Structure 1
Amino acid sequence: MARFISLLKKSTGPLTAELIQTPGDFGLGKVPARLKPASTITSICGYCATGCQLKIHLDENGQAINLSPQAGYPVNQGMACPKGWQALDPLDAPDRGTTPLLRGADGNLHPIDWPTALDTFVSRFRAIQEAHGHEAAAFLSTGQTPLEEMAFLGCLWKFGMGFLHGDANTRQCMATAVTAYKQSFGFDAPPATYADFEESDVIVLVGSNLCIAHPILWQRIMRNRRSPKIIVIDPRSTETSQAATHHVQLKPKGDLALYYALAHCILRDGRIDPASIARSEGFDKFAEFVKDHTPESAVGKTGLPAEIIEALARDVSEPGKRVSWWWTMGINQSHEGVRAAQAIINLCLITGNIGKPGTGPNSVTGQCNAMGSRLFSNTTSLVGGHDFANADHRRKVAEGLGLPLDCIPKERSLAYDEILAAAERGEIKGLWVVATNPFHSWIDSGRLEALRDKLEFLVVQDMYPTTETARAADLFLPAAGWGEKSGTFINSERRIGTLKPVKKAPGQALSDFRIFRLLANAWGCGRLFEQWTDPESAFKLLRDLTADRPCDITGIESYDHLDQSGGIQWPYPISDCRLKIADSPQETRPADINRQSSISNRPSPERRLFEDGIYYTPSGKARILFSNPAPLPEPPCDDYPFLLLTGRGSSSQWHTQSRTAKSDILRKLAPAAAYIEIHPRDARRLGIASGQQVLIRSSRGEMTATAYLAPTVQPGNVFVPMHYPEVNRLTHPSFDPHSRQPNYKACAVSLTPL
């Protein structure tokens, strides 16, 4: 161990004392004491929010050499998708960031040491704060880092450094579901458990290509022994729709009109659950509202015959049948995604398909820790599921984290798009981007190049200095990635699981957690975070902060407890524990209770919400919310006659491919260059042959792609996978008014054969 520390010191050069910790801690998190040479260790996968557990095989030096899926874990049950099987590959990429980089007078990035990087970060951001105020800088973070790191970032930036604005790229994938749940249920509370895939009689997948986006969840459906009817609602003929029992191929963004027409039919025919309706607010107004939303009135908006709508209404409301609804980005990434998600929630409420096995309005989350970001990133919501505007919440957070009350701001942050708009206006001068790549992934991405010129200081903290965003940075901070640090993720079904360090980060790269500690000390606010010594210590602080919130996890004892339990779904308050705790004459805070690991403290492996019919609203009732469908922000026109759809391309591709493109195997499983799906009828009319290059234009930008002719898209529509850097030069900068989530899924384009 001493030799390892010596090697680390030699590899990193002169650093502050904070960089080298006690034996077993290399800025990666504590290496578990139970590790033995040539052994295995488990870790949750760091790609999507399915939350699969992987068994990582280690050599005699404790370094990962291979992995396999964990057989007994309740999520993946011995399965893994291609990304999971190759999860170690990105760690060995030749373009890993190994040293901090600073842009010099020659316009190029040059290696520097960590003390220089820290001093540059502090001096430049302090200058911005002193000249322009606490709203003149912002961070943009991710759903890819552990919740301990994202919480540390948000707390450091707002409570320690005194800035106000910060948001995460979960705004791009899950903000709509978050807002829909908050408004309808009183809290961001996805109700389902993955077991519901296997307990449903009718499974409705909306805007979700589950087969390739979440293949393990599709396998859970395949294990359903109830012979379920699988209905896919999607304008495109996806791999999932082709494997389903029914494909409802509606017009793009015809969802809301369809769901209101379904509600019309269900209420007209009396296929309702009075007890569930009694536990809801707003039903009478909703019933009056949908009277005019007949199947016939929805034909033009949905492109579906009235008889298809009638049949679907019967399928999703048949008495005695368990119906579950599952949606992903086809709903979320929309100009009216919140109301579409709530229309699904409403259908579940009026038919009683909630709080029971095989039911529920269930969002399938995108990133591995998007749920952790939603609860703990301290961006537009106060850390731990609290509210910045609530004085009691601010006091509780200050006391729980040992902070002065005046450190906690009363105002919420700007949302992601609002931060970028403020930067375009010159109001935000500094930006800190952590583990995300907005110069590729953000809607209408060409605008970010112009925005870059408005910024005085751009810091990018990432695994690779080669991403589109990192190449534009003034300062690059090299970060450890998944497999090189510890922490926890929360998956789509609210299950908290642990990730472990199984490799040393290269060169001077450090975990984000360690970088935040260094920056806290360099800024002069390190004393506020003295208890944040390592990820597990931070987890326990955050755990105790959730007391009495819907996401209460005070019953979780430790990382070991999570591992022994196969992960634990929130809520898991200490009152749910089956440990026998001695009676105490005075009230005892969760942090003070003698927590002893015990096999008896394992929660049941699957727990869904709202089984008691009580929601998180003040009245305890769910809210039925609705509004009339809005027109497309950018419909096709004479100059741009096609509607562009975007989405996942294959199970081996992930987001901007900053990691999956590092794997030789994953690259072989996906097209290297962009392609476009065109209906053969449209291709014939335009003289486009299969395999021909096509120029795709919108009013914002253009790109080329290889033509793939197939009736997977409807005439007048085209599809391009989102993973290629040119795609978001085309997309339209429109947003859901409630969630501020971008509308990636529909914009007007033209096609020209080359």
Structure 2
Amino acid sequence: MSISIKDNRNDAGKTFQLPTLLQRRTGPMTRELVLRPGDHGLGMTHDSMAADTTTTATCGFCATGCGLRLHLKDGEAIGLTPETAYPVNLGMACPKGWEALRVLDSPERATLPLLRDETGKLSPIEWDDAFSKFCDGMKQVQSEHGPESIAFLSTGQIACEEMAFLGALARFGMDIRHCDGNTRQCMATAVTAYKESFGFDSPPYTYDDFEQSDCLVFIGANPCVGHPIMWERVLRNPHNPEIIVIDPRRTETAAAATQHLQLRPKNDLALLYAITNELILRDFVEHDFVQNHTQGFEELRQHVSQYDLATVCEEAGLAVEDVSAAVEAIGRGRAVSLWWTMGVNQSYQGTRTAQAIINIALITGNIGRPGTGANSITGQCNAMGSRLWSNTTNLFGHHSFTEESDRRKVAEALNIPVEKIPSTTSWKYDRIIEGIRNGEIKGLWVVATNPAHSWIDQGDVRELFDQLDFLVVQDMYKTTETCSHADLILPSAGWGEKEGTFINSERRYGLLKKVRHAPGQALADFQIFRGIAHRWGVGEMFAEWTSPEAVFQIMQRASRGQPSDISGIEGYEQIDRCGGIQWPWSADHASGGFEPEQQRRLFADGRFFHEDRRARLIVDDVSPMPEPAGEDYPIVLLTGRGTVSQWHTQTRTRQSPLLRSLYPNQPYVEMHPRDAAELDVEHGDLVRVRSRRGHADATACLTHSVQPGQVFMPMHYECTNQLTLSHFDPHSGQPSYKDCAVRIEPVLTSDHD
């Protein structure tokens, strides 16, 4: 059998190195051609035998980070199956993963740069003109309104290397001071909680812990829908574990739990303090661990003593005996893991709630051992990459802008003058939005995110976008709500059309591979940033940034000595060979010459990242709900994930006919039958959900999954954030999407607008 190889890549005219091959015999008459790990999906042809060609890559939907086996023909992916050997998903995939290729084939794809003319019409232009329009437009805004008048909003959706390029280009090359990512909407609370409690943003767990626990506690988390492969790992647990769910809604996860504490909304912090108090009173404290590895136990003990179990249960709408049973399960558990996600993070007191979870793990000694941990489940596919590498509110590699030693270290790693690194951090997302309102921000660059759909109090941000002098949107699709406000649209490649790395929830670097050509003239975000750097006049500053893997090597240099050190990774080839590599994997780790273990936890030695190596036990006062239900708006609106087939703003999932068939295409609102009866509303009726900020029409879905006085709407529908209240956690700056006051009105068909 003879084999010919050709290079099909054409990003920005770049020449790429040809791949090497491994031949693996699969039968007496066939050979399977397998891309050597690190070849990243380059095209290949063969002349006489219908050989299958496959490669593996990390899924690009959520931060579970599943491995997918991509089936190639003439170098192009034509199908996929779950990768059975990948340590994350072990041969499983959710509907979104199965449809990852389908969503690339959409008439809504942005295939040419588009410029809005004087009449308001978007017309195609060439890339050379697009780069000029971008640079001239942003420089004009800076000239007229000052150097700090432009900002960017980035994402957890692009590769680490692209985030690194964007952040370095903007902060060090273009002198953009203010920038943030949409990870502010999902993970900022967990980041802040970990940094304050552990000394670094450091989720301690590995997915094997789902299978090793004898007691799992989920707070504001519905992995059955939000992270179904993680839930599959729970179902593989051989220990018949106790599963406790703390959630105001009877979610799919709660329905499968052994205990569901269905509390009233925003009583979670008080409840966790009451549980902590009971653990202390019943002496379920690991005293040696607390004494040797934590700081602040006495302050914690005194603070939580105010939260009497009976009083808190009455306020939360819970039975004392139910909470007492949960306390016993946690206290007597051999290996207890506590998990949270957006139900905690997206709260006005989310940071302190997350730290209350961390406190429970620490005082009971459930940290650093198999099946334990205070574990934040990440949302977006590369939210952790954004946390480490986006150069927004943290300096490159999770260093500090305000520390001179950190600035010098990063400057040396990037081979740039230290004077180019600012000594002040950026505004947070909400402050950037306020900057538009105040006329401080007049130019905005939005990369791979859709804030005109996803930002809290949606109507307000849409009006503000129209006040900008220059709005540039860089996206796969030209039809997003944010694109409708753009002056310039830059078409970008999506997952499967470019390469780089993602970091999943358990700190695992996985590979994103190019297995398809982007449509039309769409370019990888990496190549767009290269073009902008050249046209802005700072190409020499980024002369070393020639490819994603070259940037990965720069990232490795910058990571040395950090808790997230990756200096020991041998490159993309090793990441691929190992099925991903969890950080940290330093040069010291690798010095023994062996491969990284697949399942590695943090804090097994009880040493944390504060200078004294002790974790902090942090408490605070409980705050009342900013907009409680009242006479005019008597219902509390809850929001969250709808079905396993929906994702975020549906920018991608709506491109798949299969995924659209698996969830209601029209907005719906879950109501308790008692509330519906009072309004003379029946199942399937159209109702209007109205808040002080706007209204949304939705189909009434009568269910006991919500309690009387509460309704639930999925976050994915465009109308949901027309209702939400613009309030934020004071420590993390994360929006509090999960609670606001609404009223429900029946809608006659003739009244529907």
TM-score (norm 2): 0.94
Q: Does 1:550 align with 2:563?
A: yes
The match for 1:90 is 103
Q: Does 1:294 align with 2:308?
A: yes
Indicate the SS of the match to 2:305. Answer: helix
Q: Cα distance 1:680–1:21, how it changes in 2: closer, same or farther (>3 A)?
A: same
The match for 1:584 is none
Indicate the SS of the match to 2:123. Answer: strand
Residue 511 (structure 1) aligned to one of 524, 527, 543 = 524
Within 1, Cα distance between the matches of 2:506 and 2:16? 36
Residue 190 (structure 2) aligned to one of 177, 180, 197 = 177
Within 2, Cα distance between the matches of 1:535 and 1:23? 12
Q: Does 1:248 align with 2:261?
A: yes
Conserved? CA contact 2:545–2:551, under 8 Å: yes
Within 2, Cα distance between the matches of 1:197 and 1:740? 30
Q: Does 1:232 align with 2:245?
A: yes
Conserved? CA contact 1:485–1:500, under 8 Å: yes
The match for 2:26 is none
1:88-111 CA deviation, whole Å, 9 max, x = no partner? 011110111110000001111111
Indicate the SS of the match to 1:477. Answer: strand
One-letter amino acid of the structure 1 residue matched with residue 510 of structure 2: G
The match for 1:749 is 742
One-letter amino acid of the structure 1 residue matched with residue 607 of structure 2: I
Q: Does 1:284 align with 2:298?
A: yes
One-letter amino acid of the structure 2 residue matched with residue 574 of structure 1: A
Conserved? CA contact 2:347–2:737, under 8 Å: yes
Within 2, Cα distance between the matches of 1:468 and 1:356? 45
Conserved? CA contact 2:198–2:608, under 8 Å: yes
One-letter amino acid of the structure 2 residue matched with residue 163 of structure 1: I
One-letter amino acid of the structure 1 residue matched with residue 620 of structure 2: S
Offset of 1:4 from its aligned partner?
A: 7.5
Q: Does 1:658 align with 2:646?
A: no
The match for 2:443 is 430
Within 2, Cα distance between the matches of 1:389 and 1:294? 42
1:170-219 CA deviation, whole Å, 9 max, x = no partner? 00000000000000000000001100000001001111111111000001
Residue 67 (structure 2) aligned to one of 47, 50, 53 = 53
The match for 2:711 is 718
Offset of 1:314 from its aligned partner?
A: 1.3
1:446-495 CA deviation, whole Å, 9 max, x = no partner? 00121023210000000011000011100000000000000000000000
Residue 636 (structure 2) aligned to one of 639, 643, 659 = 643
Residue 22 (structure 1) aligned to one of 8, 11, 15 = 15
The match for 2:227 is 214
TM-score (norm 1): 0.94
Q: Cα distance 1:431–1:30, how it changes in 2: closer, same or farther (>3 A)?
A: farther
The match for 1:622 is 615
Q: Does 1:103 align with 2:150?
A: no
One-letter amino acid of the structure 1 residue matched with residue 535 of structure 2: A
The match for 2:79 is 66
The match for 1:737 is 730
1:352-393 CA deviation, whole Å, 9 max, x = no partner? 011111000000000010011000010000011100000000
Unaligned runs of 5+ in 2: 19-37, 47-51, 748-753
Within 2, Cα distance between the matches of 1:4 and 1:341? 49
Within 2, Cα distance between the matches of 1:171 and 1:346? 23
Q: Cα distance 1:104–1:380, how it changes in 2: closer, same or farther (>3 A)?
A: same
One-letter amino acid of the structure 2 residue matched with residue 609 of structure 1: L
- Write out aligned runs for 1:326-475 (5 A): 326-475=339-488
Conserved? CA contact 2:501–2:510, under 8 Å: yes
The match for 2:702 is 709
Unaligned runs of 5+ in 1: 9-17, 580-599
Indicate the SS of the match to 1:64. Answer: strand
Conserved? CA contact 2:691–2:723, under 8 Å: yes
Within 1, Cα distance between the matches of 2:298 and 2:108? 60
Moved more, 217-226 or 305-314: 305-314
Conserved? CA contact 1:431–1:457, under 8 Å: yes
Q: Cα distance 1:312–1:476, how it changes in 2: closer, same or farther (>3 A)?
A: same
- Write out aligned runs for 1:258-337 (5 A): 258-278=271-291, 279-318=293-332, 321-337=334-350
- Show structure 1 runs of 4+ deviating over 4 A: 1-5, 29-37
One-letter amino acid of the structure 1 residue matched with residue 199 of structure 2: G
Conserved? CA contact 1:30–1:534, under 8 Å: no
Indicate the SS of the match to 1:316. Answer: helix
Q: Does 1:684 align with 2:697?
A: no
One-letter amino acid of the structure 2 residue matched with residue 331 of structure 1: V
Moved more, 514-523 or 277-286: 277-286
Offset of 1:543 from its aligned partner?
A: 1.1
Within 1, Cα distance between the matches of 2:202 and 2:7? 44
1:506-545 CA deviation, whole Å, 9 max, x = no partner? 1100000000000000000010111110000001110111
Conserved? CA contact 1:160–1:528, under 8 Å: yes
Q: Cα distance 1:242–1:506, how it changes in 2: closer, same or farther (>3 A)?
A: same
Residue 613 (structure 1) aligned to one of 589, 606, 619 = 606
Conserved? CA contact 1:141–1:168, under 8 Å: yes
Indicate the SS of the match to 2:208. Answer: helix
- Write out aligned runs for 1:495-534 (5 A): 495-534=508-547
Offset of 1:307 from its aligned partner?
A: 2.3
Residue 490 (structure 1) aligned to one of 503, 516, 525 = 503
Q: Cα distance 1:36–1:362, how it changes in 2: closer, same or farther (>3 A)?
A: farther
- The alignment yields a C-alpha RMSD, in angstroms, of 1.6
Offset of 1:36 from its aligned partner?
A: 6.4
One-letter amino acid of the structure 2 residue matched with residue 306 of structure 1: V
Within 2, Cα distance between the matches of 1:200 and 1:31? 36
Q: Does 1:538 align with 2:551?
A: yes
The match for 1:594 is none
* Identical amino acids, percent of aligned pairs: 53
One-letter amino acid of the structure 2 residue matched with residue 618 of structure 1: E
